[in-house]
Structure 1
Amino acid sequence: MELNNVKEAEALIIGAGPAGLTLAIDLARRGVAARIVERGERLFPGSRGKGLQPRTQEVFDDLGVMDAVRAAGGPYPPMMGWEDGRRLGAFEMIVRTGPAPGTPYHDIWMLPQWRTAEILYARLRELGGEVEFGAACTGLTQDADRVTAHLTYADGSTGTVRAAYAVAADGGRSTVRKALGIGMAGETVDPHPLLVADVTLAGLDRGHWHVWQHAKGGVLALCPLAGTDVFQAVAQYEDADATPDPAPEAVRRLITERTHLTEAEVGEVRWASPFRARAAMAERFRDGRVFLVGDAAHIHSPAGGQGLNTSVQDAYNLGWKLGAVLRGGADPVLLDSYEEERMPVAAGVLGISTRIHRAETERAAKAGGEPRRTAEVHQLGLTYRGAALAVDQRQQEATLRAGDRAPDAPCALPDGTPFRLFDAFRGPHVTVLALGGAEPPAPGRASVRTYRVGGPAPDLLDPDGHIRAGYGDQGVFVIRPDGYLGYTADSATDRTAEMTGYLTRLGA
């Protein structure tokens, strides 16, 4: 509603990048119509973060956009080294893995950031949401009950939003973070400036990611962006005092100077941006009723493809918790778990990005090609073990514990129809999985779905043993809406009250 030019909202999201859009989608499917405002006049136009890690693909599967993501993108190509106009040979930057029963998405998927944002925005609109473009948050205060945000629109007019909660998804220079007085500590990963640009090119095949490691002035890489007619150019400058020029004519000149391509073969520069690789993290991810997600909370080197993915997963972690408080009747104390869980993850992932960046720089300087990136960048092994929502009551030895990602597994319905655990998890609900005849507590609400595997009246069959291989022969598992194990026990016997209490904590 709107009173005296003050608009009311349950949740206000500031910033419509991948993190803000992911959060808006997750809230919309929970019946929370968040208001999302974006300073820019349109979605971000550049490729920047172009790699979707397997864990992010699982998130997008749950949010209903994975078919569009697969159709629009493609796998990473091998790299091709160049020197003096001749090919030096192909090499792999990443270690490629095959699918496994527990990991249906097993390799990084290339999709330029602008296309990811388009797909997420389309999904948000399907769910009835919208983005207010040209609306900058210019001030923010809060009291015990609400957050008050002051907006300035592109036409010069102003407005005010009062919301129960606000989320800053407004990037590394976050206006909201600064307004809250939250510091950001970090370091310069590499003193040498870089420039990234989206360019149309002729004269290069699109089956390789082309790199000139010994180009005069610094390394240059030209990567064909899957699903487009564009290459992403990334140029490093040997001179730490250089000032990269993003003007189209300067970008075209840089490419012709560092490669064998002619002026006629370097076409339109659609977007360009200079930057310096930094690693930094906010000193806290929450201030009262305001939360930080994505680059507003942590800034990464682009090496390793961790920044966008960590941002999406921040939003995915926060979305179900806000929904549980606003719609599920959960105690607001549930929201304390966002910072508790995401700050250690962000710190660990920042370390991976920084280490990979420095290793690549050192390797390139020694003329050895780029180091291969292993499955550590896939983010499938990230865990919330030890956090307040990870309650592990299993007595038996098990590699899978509360706080871990819940793996997928091919299985079947009682009539033999093929099914997957991810089919059971998909949606805004909590899932209870009972193995080996364990009897789960009866759910009190439709927001909990139970599946018995084995026993006299199974809901799922495990003919090939994939569920047992992932979860063990017996046990009861509460899978949170974000696909992580919350509560685990060997049996529900004598634990019904305890498990019911845990489900209530989740707002289920």
Structure 2
Amino acid sequence: MISSEVTTESTAERTGVLIVGAGPTGLTLACELARRGTAVRIIEKSPEFHSGSRGKTLNPRSLEVFESLGVLPELLAHGRTDLLLRKYRDGEIVTDTDPFSVLEPTPWAPYVRGLFIAQWQVEEILRTRLAEWGVTVELGTELTGFEQTGKSVVATTAAGKRMAAEYLVACDGGRSTIRKSLPVTFDGRTEEGRMMILGDVEAEGLSRDHWHQWIDADGAILLCPLGERSFQLQALPERDELGQPVAPSLETFQRIFDRHSGMPGIRLANPTWISTFRVNERMADRYRVGRVLLAGDAAHVHSIAGGLGMNTGVQDAFNLGWKLAMVVAGTARPALLDTYEEERLPIAAWTLDTSGERWRSVQQSVKEAGRGTEDVIRPETLALGLGYRWSSLALELDGRGSEDAVGGGEGAGDERATDDGLLRAGDRAPDAPCLDADGAAIRLFDLFARPRFTLLGFGAGTAGVLRIIAAKYGDTVQPCLIADVPDGLSDHEGHARRAYGVTGDAVVLVRPDRHVALTAPADATGAVLDYLATLVI
């Protein structure tokens, strides 16, 4: 538990946001804040950066997030999207499976394959990007106490340093000491009997084009290539004569491998990380207590099935980042932060349900030779269909969803995994290829990468509302006219209109985190201004 010692604000070093924990969640949030000019510090109690592969898959929605942060090319260069899942039974190859083969990229969803990449590489790439904005991780800095005042949170470290921040964000993992010090429950269950052992090892002579999965009736071991030489090993543990799990080690790894692989010439070597995993399904009942917020594993933990852990934390950070930046800058009211919990708490509940269901599905499917972890890959685990239709920030003024929808048209279809195929406020904002005024190719995602709201105006009739919004909110909202007129973007193939469900003239406001905030007819200038007035001071 963190102590409740009283700190002195007047003697503390000041910042806008203090992030505790430098994993993918904390680093994503730090990048999102730093690129917006928010004063941010990020501290990590470990004296050195983590080196384990841990979470090893980025889903398509996280790839979109990282594209916005400008790190997608580096991630793609270090990861793999083309791994085949090779299943064995009794030492014999049964099947090679491409788990993403049934999914094709579309103009609306350019990324549909998961990226296999070690978590330490994701963190290293994010740290490099963060440093370009002038922020570095403060290693060996453990938070031991904090106190909320009327205008700040004053934190104390083990070394006695005091830091005052307008907001403190706990990204310090499932055992979060910050969460434990708050009036927050972390209800759920731990399946003590179900555990896996994990590690990063080398296996010379083993193909690096496959995720090898030996799954037999009496046990299993999986080896997934990550980085230049290592494999992430996952296995069911050995048991001693009393039926208790044997502590993982290189020796136990080798014995389990020899038992299932039928490859006596392969020797495992150079373990750089060894760990044990138990299935935990828990979530916090609150994400905000005053000026302290929870994100990532500090707010929710769950089964590894579906690879949703690291991804859900990254997407927590992306949701929270723009809201914190606006509040700290004084361009939004603090109440905007309440929508973080409003939007992300239901996503955590969905994640626990989905990952738990996928975990149980895999436990059954592996009993059949040739089936296994590909059962966790479903359209819902890509996270492209996740949105916030219930949010107080989602507003529809054009009647879409009703039979007399104004501007309603052909939806983008299954790419968004929506109920009726029609884009709704709160949904993920889809991509689309267009041409700029010079005839050069430009994507809507190129516009969304800028850290502002984007007001899409479909049709020349929206030029007026775009001009008015730009004049009043030009620092916060970028206008984009999609029409075949000078200075407009050409929707030359009609993909933008189809993706956004627009046939006539209409406006769509896209949030900085690439979700639809508002849909409205072209003449709804007053309503759009009213909406923005509730957000922007």
The normalised TM-score by structure 2 is 0.89
- Paired residues of 1:96 and 1:107 also in contact (CA < 8 A): no
| Matches of 2:495 and 2:487, distance apart in 1 | 16
CA RMSD, 1 decimal: 2.1
| Matches of 1:419 and 1:366, distance apart in 2 | 47
- Paired residues of 1:13 and 1:24 also in contact (CA < 8 A): yes
* Among 469, 473, 481, the residue aligned to 1:442: 469
| Matches of 1:337 and 1:463, distance apart in 2 | 36
Alignment of 1:356-375 (within 5 A): 356-367=358-369, 369-370=371-372, 371-372=374-375, 373-375=377-379
| Matches of 1:19 and 1:99, distance apart in 2 | 26
Query: Which runs of 5 or more residues in structure 2 are unaligned?
Result: 1-7, 400-404, 410-421
1:3: how far off?
8.0
Match of 1:221 in 2: 222
1:497: how far off?
3.1
Q: Encode CA deviations 1:324-370: one digit per residue, 9 max, x unaligned.
A: 11115211111110000000111112211111111001111344512
Q: Indicate whether 1:388 and 2:387 are aligned.
A: no
Match of 1:41 in 2: 47
Q: Encode CA deviations 1:398-438: one digit per residue, 9 max, x unaligned.
A: 61111011100001002211111111111211110010222
1:9: how far off?
1.5
Q: Indicate whether 1:404 and 2:403 are aligned.
A: no
Judging changes above 3 Å, is the alpha-carbon distance between structure 1 residues 187 and 94 closer, same or farther for their aligned structure 2 residues? farther
1:106: how far off?
1.5
Q: Encode CA deviations 1:472-493: one digit per residue, 9 max, x unaligned.
A: 12311111100001111022x2
| Matches of 2:387 and 2:266, distance apart in 1 | 50
1:253: how far off?
3.5
| Matches of 2:254 and 2:536, distance apart in 1 | 55
* Among 143, 146, 150, the residue aligned to 1:140: 146
Q: Indicate whether 1:451 and 2:480 are aligned.
A: yes
Q: Secondary structure at the match of 1:428?
A: coil
Q: Indicate whether 1:462 and 2:494 are aligned.
A: no
Of 196-205 and 78-87, the range deviating more from structure 2: 78-87
Of 368-377 and 409-418, the range deviating more from structure 2: 368-377
1:68: how far off?
0.5
Q: Indicate whether 1:150 and 2:181 are aligned.
A: no
Q: Indicate whether 1:476 and 2:507 are aligned.
A: yes
Of 198-207 and 440-449, the range deviating more from structure 2: 440-449
1:496: how far off?
2.3
1:386: how far off?
2.0
Match of 1:423 in 2: 446
1:150: how far off?
1.7
Match of 1:353 in 2: 355
| Matches of 1:263 and 1:183, distance apart in 2 | 50
| Matches of 1:368 and 1:189, distance apart in 2 | 26
* Among 200, 203, 210, the residue aligned to 1:201: 203
Q: What amino acid maps onto 1:235 in structure 2?
A: A
| Matches of 2:198 and 2:478, distance apart in 1 | 46
Alignment of 1:20-419 (within 5 A): 20-152=26-158, 157-188=159-190, 191-214=193-216, 216=218, 218-225=219-226, 227-237=227-237, 242-262=244-264, 265-367=267-369, 369-370=371-372, 371-372=374-375, 373-395=377-399, 396=405, 397=408, 399-419=422-442
1:4: how far off?
7.0
Q: What amino acid maps onto 1:462 in structure 2?
A: D
Q: What amino acid maps onto 2:225 in structure 1?
A: P
1:500: how far off?
2.0
Of 247-256 and 32-41, the range deviating more from structure 2: 247-256
1:215: how far off?
6.5
- Paired residues of 1:390 and 1:487 also in contact (CA < 8 A): yes
| Matches of 1:3 and 1:328, distance apart in 2 | 21
| Matches of 1:110 and 1:325, distance apart in 2 | 35
Q: What amino acid maps onto 1:61 in structure 2?
A: E
| Matches of 2:178 and 2:322, distance apart in 1 | 22
| Matches of 2:526 and 2:212, distance apart in 1 | 60
Match of 2:415 in 1: none
1:458: how far off?
5.0
| Matches of 1:33 and 1:502, distance apart in 2 | 28
| Matches of 2:328 and 2:148, distance apart in 1 | 18
Judging changes above 3 Å, is the alpha-carbon distance between structure 1 residues 36 and 88 closer, same or farther for their aligned structure 2 residues? same
Q: Secondary structure at the match of 2:164?
A: strand
Q: Secondary structure at the match of 2:47?
A: coil
| Matches of 1:189 and 1:367, distance apart in 2 | 26
Q: What amino acid maps onto 2:293 in structure 1?
A: F
| Matches of 1:456 and 1:75, distance apart in 2 | 40
- Paired residues of 2:453 and 2:477 also in contact (CA < 8 A): yes
1:259: how far off?
2.6
Q: What amino acid maps onto 2:222 in structure 1?
A: A
Q: What amino acid maps onto 1:483 in structure 2?
A: R
| Matches of 2:154 and 2:324, distance apart in 1 | 18
- Paired residues of 2:205 and 2:266 also in contact (CA < 8 A): no
1:77: how far off?
1.5
| Matches of 2:217 and 2:368, distance apart in 1 | 14
1:10: how far off?
1.1
Q: Secondary structure at the match of 2:68?
A: helix
- Paired residues of 1:192 and 1:241 also in contact (CA < 8 A): no
| Matches of 1:304 and 1:100, distance apart in 2 | 22
Q: What amino acid maps onto 1:236 in structure 2?
A: L
Of 265-274 and 75-84, the range deviating more from structure 2: 75-84
Query: Which runs of 5 or more residues in structure 1 are unaligned?
Result: none
Q: Secondary structure at the match of 2:305?
A: coil
Judging changes above 3 Å, is the alpha-carbon distance between structure 1 residues 331 and 435 closer, same or farther for their aligned structure 2 residues? same
- Paired residues of 1:95 and 1:374 also in contact (CA < 8 A): no
Q: What amino acid maps onto 1:191 in structure 2?
A: G
Judging changes above 3 Å, is the alpha-carbon distance between structure 1 residues 200 and 122 closer, same or farther for their aligned structure 2 residues? same
- Paired residues of 2:89 and 2:369 also in contact (CA < 8 A): no
Judging changes above 3 Å, is the alpha-carbon distance between structure 1 residues 4 and 329 closer, same or farther for their aligned structure 2 residues? closer
Judging changes above 3 Å, is the alpha-carbon distance between structure 1 residues 215 and 362 closer, same or farther for their aligned structure 2 residues? closer
Q: Secondary structure at the match of 2:366?
A: helix
Number of positions where the alignment pairs a residue of Structure 1 with one of Structure 2? 499
| Matches of 2:446 and 2:458, distance apart in 1 | 17
Q: What amino acid maps onto 2:28 in structure 1?
A: T
Q: Secondary structure at the match of 1:438?
A: helix
Q: Secondary structure at the match of 2:193?
A: coil
Match of 1:499 in 2: 528
Of 10-19 and 253-262, the range deviating more from structure 2: 253-262
